[in-house]
Amino acid sequence: MAKCEVCGKGVSFGIQVSHSHRRSNRTWKPNVKRVKVIMDGTPKRVYVCTRCLRSGKVTRAV
């Protein structure tokens, strides 16, 4: 679910390193919102990241 349907941004993986340098796996999830947007001329509810919302890649349906 944590995937933008406009740009395709999804979960990324990495390693969390503590102060004592102990390492463990972790994930970064994008800030994804479920919004009503106009796609192909029709209003649709899709998951869109806030970067796409802010930059105007989608037009919100009112």
**Mean pLDDT, range 27-38, rounded to an integer:** 95
Cβ distance 9 to 33 under 8 Å? no
Q: Longest Cα pair distance anywhere in the chain, in angstroms? A: 54
What's the burial of 42, exposed, middle or buried (CB within 10 Å: 0-12/13-18/19+)? Answer: exposed
Percentage of the chain modeled with pLDDT above 90: 90
Please say if the pLDDT value at position 1 is more than 90: no
**Mean pLDDT, range 45-61, rounded to an integer:** 94
Q: Residue 62: which pLDDT band, with cuts at 50, 70 and 90? A: confident
Please say if the pLDDT value at position 5 is more than 90: yes
